[in-house]
Amino acid sequence: MEKKIGAEAYQAAKELIEKANLKKGQILVVGCSTSEVAGEKIGSASRPELAEMVFQGIYKATKEAGVFLAAQCCEHLNRALILEEAAAEKYGYEAVNVVPQPKAGGSFATMAYKFMENPVAVEHIKAHAGMDIGDTLIGMHLRDVAVPERISVKTIGEAHLVCARCRAKFIGGQRAQYDETMM
């Protein structure tokens, strides 16, 4: 089951990165409830072993694409995020002092902190795309205009998967013309 979950996570991230047309150095935010992946109620059965499989699959896809991964913590850490220090520096995100744990931050964020090269925690980001595994509510970490992105992977384990990409705002009203490549 765990290998299948890792493969689902990798495929979902790879497909979203491609469909969202993420560029090197952009950010993919991921929220993941391992309780939901295991078929339990969110927040009830944190599973580090499942988190590692999901994290490794997604992290592999982001590394291949040159995209930064941001792992959303659970509500016990006010949905802070774990990302590479280089991403925080690039985007001007201020680091905060916290180390996620399975029951205070969540298993997925704990694995991000364990396996990223130079992890830091930050409170707020504006990601270019996102994956919500198990209805963890990542919307607060996306740019202003998020658009649902349908991919072939619908679940990871038993968890519902919702993906989004972000686009530039349309401004100017009905007489305006738009750059089709930015849609």
Per-residue confidence at 1, pLDDT binned at 50, 70, 90? low
Per the rule left: phi > 0, alpha: psi between -120 and 50, beta: everything else, 66 is left
Question: Model confidence over 139-152: pLDDT tens digits?
Answer: 999 999 999 999 99
Question: Model confidence over 116-169: pLDDT tens digits?
Answer: 999 999 999 999 999 999 999 999 999 999 999 999 999 999 999 999 999 999
Question: Average pLDDT, stretch 64-75?
Answer: 96
Quote the pLDDT of residue 172: 81
Question: Model confidence over 27-62: pLDDT tens digits?
Answer: 999 999 999 998 898 878 888 899 999 999 999 999
In angstroms, rounded to a whole number, what is the distance separating the alpha carbons of residues 17 and 1? 24
Residues present in the chain in total: 183
Quote the pLDDT of residue 75: 87
In angstroms, rounded to a whole number, what is the distance separating the alpha carbons of residues 68 and 56? 14
Quote the pLDDT of residue 9: 98
- What the chain holds in terms of domains, given with CATH numbers, is 2-168 (3.40.50.10360)
In angstroms, rounded to a whole number, what is the distance separating the alpha carbons of residues 51 and 6? 9
Q: How far is CA 125 from CA 6, 31, 72, 99, 129, in A?
A: 26, 13, 10, 18, 11
pTM here?
0.93
Q: What is the mean pLDDT of the chain?
A: 94
Q: Is the pLDDT confidence value at 2 over 70?
A: no
Query: Of 141, 156, 138, which is closest to residue 50 (Cα–Cα)?
Result: 156
